[in-house]
Amino acid sequence: MNRQVESFGSFGASASNAQRNKVLRNTYWLLAISLLPTVAGAWIGVSTGITAAMSGMMGIVVFLAGAFGFIYAINKFKNTAAGVPVLLGFTFFMGLMISRLIAMVLGFSNGADLVMMAFGGTAGVFFAMASLATVVKRDLSGLNQWLTIGVVLLIVGMLINMFVASSTGMIVLSMLAVAIFSAFLLVDIKRVIDGGETNYITATLSIYLSLINIFQNLLMLLGIFGGDD
């Protein structure tokens, strides 16, 4: 009887591990695929200049309306066949939204190198956080509350800096953003590894949001420090 119980327990643990590995594998695959529409959106945005006119408050309204609309739809359809196309539509939208920054950096003589450096830096942060998540044993979910507070303060700081237009303030805020979203990335990957996230679509969304923010802020810092006219 004891052996039967032990055997059942081992089977349950194996099934649980298999499920977690499946979610993690699907998340990484979908994350890789999501880069394609992001690149396509950024290329279209840079080529057409479609987002160039969306500056100031108009740009903020368009971004917030589009982002929250897509995120609502992704969560609504996360358990249906429509979930993946909606997520990919969101990543295309995000590519469009960051195209203005990319176009600005590409205006430097070494702009293409800076974009590739930001991409490489983002990939480096991802692999570092993914590796760290596999060796950290403690539960990191308690960090979510503090990181969320950090994001709120970051947004407030960015809104203030829009009116102050301080280069130093922009540098500090971008560095803080890289640190905060790197920590979010660690927490989100760790949650998938631990089985706390069982839907690969929402898992991909969380990780993607951290990565796109890291890339954007790294690119901003590289443009400030490394841009050659």
SS3 for 144-171 is HHHHHHHHHHHHHHHHHHHHHCCHHHHH
Residue 158's domain comprises 2-226
Q: What is the pLDDT of residues 10-20, one digit of tens each?
A: 444 444 788 88
Look up the pTM and report it: 0.88
Checking if the pLDDT of 1 tops 90, the result is: no
Q: What is the pLDDT of residues 72-90, one digit of tens each?
A: 999 999 999 899 999 999 9
Burial of residue 228 (number of CB atoms within 10 Å: 0-12, 13-18, 19+): exposed
Number of structural domains, the chain?
1
